[in-house]
Structure 1
Amino acid sequence: MMRAPAVLSYFLLIMSGGLAVSTPRRSVSFQDLDLKQFSESGFDSLSSLAIRDDVRQLVVGARGKVLTLSLDDIAKKTGEAEWTVSPEDKSLCQMKGKGMKECDNFIRSLHTTENGTMLVCGTNAFNPGCDYMTFINGKISLQGSKQAGKGKVPFDPYQRFTSLMNGNTLYSAASSNFLGTEMAFQRYGLNPISTEVRRSWLNEPTMISISLVEANKTRVEDEDAVFLFFTESAVEEYSDSVRVSRIARVCKSDLGGERTLQRRWTSFLKARLVCPFSDVGSPSLVQDAFFLRDQNDWRDSVFYATFTANSHRESSDACSKSAVCAYKLSDIRQVLGGTFLTERDTGSWDTYTGEEPSPHPASCINDELRAKGVTSSLHLSDKTLVFMKDHPLVKGAVAPAAGKPLLVRTGMRFSKIVVDRVTSADGRQRHVMLIGTDSGWLQKAVRFDGEDGRVIEELQLFETPRPINFLQLSSMTGQLYSGADDVAVQVNVRDCSRYTLCDDCLLARDPYCGWDKIIGQCVSVVGALVGSVIQSLTDGDILMCPIPELETKPGIVYLFAHTAQFLPCSPETNLPVSWRLSDSVLLPGPRHTVLSQGLVVRPSSSDSGVYTCETVETVKGKVHRRTVVQYAVQVQDTDSLMGTMRAAVIVLAVFACLLISFICGALVARHQKVKMGICIDCVNVNDNVHNSVHNSVHNNVHNNVHNNVHNNNNQVIIVMFPYCQDQAAGRRADEALAHCER
């Protein structure tokens, strides 16, 4: 008979269209996680977060205030600046139908300018405004030079948007009206510019992320560009309700047109972004994107993006699916340089087959065009600009590298992503994906060549489930910073202390961690002495480890014959487990039921021996087994064991009576008075304890377990044992899948 976990894994593979669904190797609960957090009275509605490595501060925007926290320990507040709404503005906001809390000032964006001051923008009672903030002698202060914030942040404190600061130039993708219906992708600064207000350009978009890609300019066609990730209703689909993921690009040097497209992007191009892991016909929706620049060739740089399945059948958290896809910059550039789509008079969209103007529409002004006399977008012909105005959408779709996701998970919704570049002990560069979820768990994942992505461990960042809306990594401290509505957290993603043994340290294949042969600990490879740390990221070769010391002998456990009992096994990881009796693997059957946290055994008199629970991990086809716990089981006849227990209970009862008598005497000597009834009859103790133990052990264990196992053919979850108390990982993937099937 196939084991249940194997059946579930096979079913998950089918559900994912052949994609391997990754289960975390280890789950670390909030209580077991060594993190720092900041929370105080009056601090709520955390709405922005920025790292200032230069002054070692974490800047946090909330409702009506900006806070600075020590980057080394965010529990230490270093500064605070208030920016509240006047009573008149709040009253006017409420007159327009908004709630009292909505009419406060939510600090939605924090950006550092060239001179070190910060541009701070807030919703300001549905009348967005911005101000500059300075650091003077370690203290922060707002300058009070209020300026319009329309389009830089939304009017609505809860509407999604994105922005980016480059030097003193701000790029923002946000709504620009009170109702939040007019969306634009804009640039602010010396040469302000915006998208055209047309359905073909932006159709009910949700703005996700902005990234600046600066070219090395080693070739004449290279030019800096800004990329926008968003979702929108697809104009090219027959149904307006189909939402798709998009990537758009504009040129950093774009100045708009001279007559046509004045102060409008002349280089705005967009394409569909695909991440195939959900149902056919249900496009996945991008949730966040992170740009990781290639240090050798910028054209090989990669965008990492999180996606959730856009399917009504996967609407619940337990049944939802998420993925991470990676996109090479060279592939994106190739798609955006391809064929255009055009809108017909009927409203349908088809491939454009006519003549394209020269230069190629939406081209950036590079050295090649400058040599031809086109030195800026102001010099582009009206013919080219009219074509660009009517054709912002290309036919091709941007597919992920290798044609499939790096990572797929069921039962959760991915939100934010940050990717860290780590130099491993062999000198190679490894990419670690740090992924936030809507339930407050951080996924630390990797993907090695020739393998599917896998989650090394997941960390519970908040005590109660809440979305991870912010995720930033400090290059200086190596710490990850996040936050929810009323709390900011700091966690060391390089922490290797949870790997207590060498084999566990190497088998985890965590690029951050290696085994230090000198001190005999699993340590971070960042800053470690060269040659002192061993890793085996590709193969998980534990033969590199020192020879372990001899293990201690297992403790003796007495079991009833012919009565179902429970042997606990709770490994620190989420790896599958197997059981052995002496040298034989225990298979599911009438006498053995394997659960996620132990073994239900109904032994016969011949089943005495050493029971071993071990984790099973396969790396590159090699199976690694690690002992979690061992029991030297001796099976005894029920009647003889009851007699032994009765004798033990009598001894314990006499000892308890003597102890109580001693306490009573001490109390009498000290207080000269004792309430009657504290000292009780030894005979009653003996009878009560014996009856209690006998009933609990014999009736509960024998009747409940025996009946459950027999009546349900060994396939039930025995609720009297702590099987469902999975505090670390929450609902496992197999239980989530079972929930979906129900």
Structure 2
Amino acid sequence: MDRGGQLRLCALFCFAIATLRGFMVSEETAHQIVDATKLGLHFDGSHKNQDSFKVLARQDEFLLIGARNTLYNISVENFSHVQSLNWPSTKENTEECLMKGKNEDDCQNYIRLYARNLDGTFIVCGTNAYKPLCRLYYAEQENEYKVLREFHAAGVVPYDAEHNSTYVYNPETQEMFSATAADFATLDPLIYKRDMTKKEDLGLRTNRYDKKILNEPSFVASFKIEDYVYFWFREATYEQRGCGKAVYARVGRVCSHDHGHARRKDTWTSFVKAPLNCSAPGEFPHYFDELVATSESIPGSNSLSDSRLLYAVFNSPSSIIPSSAICAFSMHDVKQVFEKSEFKVRHNTGMRHLPRYPSAVLASATVKPGFCVNDSRLLSDDIVNFVNNNPLLNDAIPNVFESPLFVHLGYSGSFTQIAVDAKVKGLDGHEYDVVFVGTDNGKVLKMLNTAVDSRNVKSNLIEVINVFADNSVVTGLFIYHPKNSNRSASSGKLIVVSSKEIRLLPLFHCSEARDCWSCLKLQDPYCAWDTQAERCVGQSSWKKSKLNLLQNVRRPMPNVRACPSGSSKVAKAESLDGILQKDFVPANLEPAGGSTSGQSDGCACNDLESSPFRSSRHDPEIVKETYRSDAFAVAIPLTFLISSILGFLFGYKCRMSRLLKKKGLPTKDQLAGNVYYQNNPAVISTVKTAVNSSKAASTVPQIGLCDTLPKLSTSSQQHSGLQLKSMSGYNTLPKSHLVKKVYV
């Protein structure tokens, strides 16, 4: 890369950092860090093997967990092992798998699907040593199950246990909607619908090996709403000619009662897909295109969206600025894009898409392609061919907010999973979404979304929870509330999954805050300071009467007058800067206990403007966090620039040194440190004579990157006074003569 390219790249890097820093999160900005590696309950299966856990279903207070050769049923209340179903692969299937080049761990039966029917029977499917298989079971009695039917499951579950797949099951119709790969080499990705009551059923699928439909997809989530099934995934694409391969986030949709076409009975007539937009705003937006995980759809806030919301985790594909972000999407916006957006149409046979391309097919259609119809078999050939050739919509589904809620920069700690506890009610009467995010280094970040509208994006990092001692990747994250319980008084649970361990943790760690100041500073809607008990308590400990509770959620720093000044624990409270709370109280401000304003000692001041910390200049934590963000924004591009310059200089010096050694010439360091070069008259005389003779040189051949040596002609050899031997090539001085300097 030339210097101009490096400078442009650095400028882009600096701009991206400046754009993102407004909503960046890091462990340093967390209000508290909790070591939970030895807290809560855990489940690790057989203890011996790599179980590759995956939570398949939640039924009331039970978890159904797919693992190596086993389906576990465990209780969420105490994480006890209730039941298990063992189903290993046969010896023949295992040997065949090994012959195909897979190892012993691969050639096991990893359970990857569980679906329960209305009649009490249930379907279990596994990878079966790279030969997917399903069984229909019936529970005769505890831990005794009868196999009613067995059938092949290619297209229902993946061959590879680590493949990113997803499924939706409709127990009323017993139809399975799956998104996976249908072959051994995972080269045939598909979205598939199958009637599970039939042993052999072609079903409906996307076109085989058609990159317009699915191109190296990684499926993330799926769910059914009304007549449609939605699939969230990322895929490779070549939408722009000459721009190379890129990865984009998509939402695909099919009609649940699509019956195929009269001419192609096994192919969808309703599959369409739309892009997702999660980006940092600016003149040059920074895009997060790699969809990694989604939350379950949750009730939306009236001020943001009346429809349901879905939070999603994205990564940036850039290797220069590795980053993760969280955006939210309204199902209303999703439906609007599928209903109103025009299609991107391929121009001729090229890879380029043209948006809003006029088409006679669409103009004459009575129903937009991709919509549910009474009988898809009656659709015209033109409509079906059009939607199969052009499944991509032009408009992107927008982020509910104008910017990502949270952004993380760096290689370590990338976001991997997300779960949201929606509408957690604080003491101020407002409802908040508490967002839990799993990372690739075994941690869970607990964040709070306090945005009141799409423009005013406000969030904070409440705490960082160290979950797995070995820093295992968080592969699953779920929130559990007891059924038919009062959520405000219940002890909810956080379920954290890795490939070899499942942990059960509380949703809050209020007791980690040892004083009033620290408790209020958490900005955690689960936590409040009990002025009578003088401790930070969680929602499950709140009494009906909340007059003795203090809480701070919206303020970046709590009002110092909120905490009772008579508490000995408050007197010991320290801010993050290590300075006592009393040091920030203005001299002319009376303590809460001696106030003449009529406020009681336990009164939490609700007048936000009366806070002495309303200005960031007086707020030590805001000043500190602002300083951190500013320093971070400057330090990273500056380090990048300095390292680039030093790398260039070092590389240039090494290059010149190699060239000189290759030509047998002394380097600058040798000239400076060798007495022979400095004090030998013969050498100096030889060099001066050679320099004078070089003026008559007829040609000056190029030797290296930027240095030349004269080529001596026959006449110059005769008049120079030097007896030079005939040399092929450049006729330079013989090796016995050492040159100190050469002048041109």
Contact persistence 1:133–1:140 (CA under 8 A): no
Q: 275, 278, 285: which one pairs with 2:278?
A: 275
CA distance in 2, matches of 1:451, 1:508: 19
Matches within 5 A, 1:426-441: 426-441=428-443
1:416-445 CA deviation, whole Å, 9 max, x = no partner?
111111233344432111111111111111
Letter of the 1:361 partner, please give it: K
Q: 538, 541, 547: which one pairs with 2:554?
A: 538
Letter of the 1:549 partner, please give it: S
The answer to whether structure 1 residue 208 and structure 2 residue 220 are counterparts is yes
Q: 469, 472, 475: which one pairs with 1:463?
A: 469
Correspondence for 2:232 = 229
Matches within 5 A, 1:31-430: 31=37, 33-54=39-60, 56-74=61-79, 76-133=80-137, 139=143, 141=145, 143=147, 145-167=149-171, 168-189=174-195, 192-197=203-208, 198-214=210-226, 224-238=227-241, 239-259=243-263, 261-277=264-280, 284-294=289-299, 300-314=307-321, 320-336=322-338, 337-347=340-350, 348-351=352-355, 352-355=357-360, 356=362, 357-365=364-372, 375-411=374-410, 412-421=413-422, 422-430=424-432
CA distance in 2, matches of 1:53, 1:479: 15
1:171-197 CA deviation, whole Å, 9 max, x = no partner?
211000111100001122279322223
Correspondence for 1:549 = 567
Contact persistence 1:325–1:400 (CA under 8 A): yes
Gaps of 5+ in 2: 1-12, 483-490, 586-611, 622-631, 644-744
CA distance in 1, matches of 2:494, 2:144: 23
Contact persistence 1:162–1:173 (CA under 8 A): yes
1:24-52 CA deviation, whole Å, 9 max, x = no partner?
22221244644544454334232321453
Shift of 1:281: 7.5
Letter of the 1:478 partner, please give it: G
Q: Secondary structure at the match of 1:401?
A: coil
CA distance in 2, matches of 1:118, 1:268: 29
CA distance in 2, matches of 1:145, 1:26: 53
TM-score, normalised to structure 1's length?
0.67
1:294-317 CA deviation, whole Å, 9 max, x = no partner?
379996211211011101224xxx
Matches within 5 A, 1:504-583: 504-517=518-531, 519-525=533-539, 528-532=542-546, 533-539=549-555, 540-541=558-559, 543-550=561-568, 576-577=576-577
Contact persistence 1:81–1:142 (CA under 8 A): no
Letter of the 2:278 partner, please give it: C
Q: Secondary structure at the match of 1:85?
A: coil
CA distance in 2, matches of 1:458, 1:211: 30
CA distance in 2, matches of 1:334, 1:120: 36
Correspondence for 1:22 = 25
Describe the shift of the 1:470–1:141 C-alpha distance in structure 2 as closer, same or farther (beyond 3 A).
farther
Letter of the 1:408 partner, please give it: V
Contact persistence 1:60–1:66 (CA under 8 A): yes
CA distance in 2, matches of 1:397, 1:409: 23
Shift of 1:378: 3.2
Shift of 1:475: 2.8
Q: Secondary structure at the match of 1:185?
A: strand
Matches within 5 A, 1:464-483: 464-476=470-482, 478-483=492-497
Contact persistence 2:53–2:500 (CA under 8 A): no
CA distance in 1, matches of 2:118, 2:614: 49
Of all paired residues, the percent bearing the same amino acid is 24
Shift of 1:389: 1.9
Describe the shift of the 1:625–1:243 C-alpha distance in structure 2 as closer, same or farther (beyond 3 A).
closer
Contact persistence 1:36–1:73 (CA under 8 A): no
Contact persistence 1:291–1:301 (CA under 8 A): no
CA distance in 2, matches of 1:292, 1:59: 21
CA distance in 2, matches of 1:173, 1:493: 32
Q: Secondary structure at the match of 1:446?
A: strand
Contact persistence 2:132–2:152 (CA under 8 A): yes
1:81-106 CA deviation, whole Å, 9 max, x = no partner?
21111221111111112112211111
TM-score, normalised to structure 2's length?
0.67
CA distance in 2, matches of 1:65, 1:581: 55
Correspondence for 1:491 = 505
Describe the shift of the 1:579–1:181 C-alpha distance in structure 2 as closer, same or farther (beyond 3 A).
same
Correspondence for 2:683 = none
CA distance in 1, matches of 2:158, 2:107: 13
Contact persistence 1:78–1:139 (CA under 8 A): no
Q: Secondary structure at the match of 1:333?
A: helix
Structure 1, 526-535 or 167-176: larger mean CA deviation = 526-535
CA distance in 2, matches of 1:64, 1:146: 16
Shift of 1:511: 2.1
Contact persistence 1:43–1:62 (CA under 8 A): no
CA distance in 2, matches of 1:478, 1:551: 29
Structure 1, 285-294 or 535-544: larger mean CA deviation = 535-544
CA distance in 2, matches of 1:29, 1:330: 40
Describe the shift of the 1:410–1:114 C-alpha distance in structure 2 as closer, same or farther (beyond 3 A).
farther
1:278-327 CA deviation, whole Å, 9 max, x = no partner?
9867652010112324379996211211011101224xxxxx31110111
Structure 1, 89-98 or 348-357: larger mean CA deviation = 348-357
Q: Secondary structure at the match of 2:335?
A: helix
Contact persistence 1:255–1:377 (CA under 8 A): yes
Describe the shift of the 1:737–1:155 C-alpha distance in structure 2 as closer, same or farther (beyond 3 A).
farther
Contact persistence 2:311–2:327 (CA under 8 A): yes
Describe the shift of the 1:86–1:523 C-alpha distance in structure 2 as closer, same or farther (beyond 3 A).
same
Describe the shift of the 1:18–1:492 C-alpha distance in structure 2 as closer, same or farther (beyond 3 A).
closer
Shift of 1:59: 2.2
Contact persistence 1:425–1:530 (CA under 8 A): no
CA distance in 1, matches of 2:617, 2:111: 53
Describe the shift of the 1:72–1:375 C-alpha distance in structure 2 as closer, same or farther (beyond 3 A).
same
Contact persistence 2:20–2:407 (CA under 8 A): no
Q: Secondary structure at the match of 1:153?
A: coil
- Structure exhibiting the larger radius of gyration computed from Cα positions: 2
CA distance in 1, matches of 2:348, 2:234: 25
Q: Secondary structure at the match of 2:273?
A: strand
CA distance in 2, matches of 1:72, 1:457: 24
Shift of 1:274: 2.1
1:177-222 CA deviation, whole Å, 9 max, x = no partner?
11110000112227932222322111121111112224xxxxxxxx
Q: Secondary structure at the match of 1:397?
A: coil
1:553-604 CA deviation, whole Å, 9 max, x = no partner?
99xxxxxxxxxxxxxx9x8xxx85155899699xxxxxxxxxxxxxxxxxxx
Contact persistence 1:254–1:364 (CA under 8 A): no
Contact persistence 1:284–1:310 (CA under 8 A): yes
Shift of 1:464: 0.8
Contact persistence 1:172–1:186 (CA under 8 A): yes
Shift of 1:329: 1.7
Contact persistence 1:340–1:391 (CA under 8 A): yes
CA distance in 1, matches of 2:294, 2:358: 33
Q: Secondary structure at the match of 2:517?
A: helix
Correspondence for 1:561 = none
Contact persistence 2:139–2:146 (CA under 8 A): no
Q: Secondary structure at the match of 2:205?
A: coil
CA distance in 2, matches of 1:581, 1:354: 69
Contact persistence 1:208–1:287 (CA under 8 A): yes
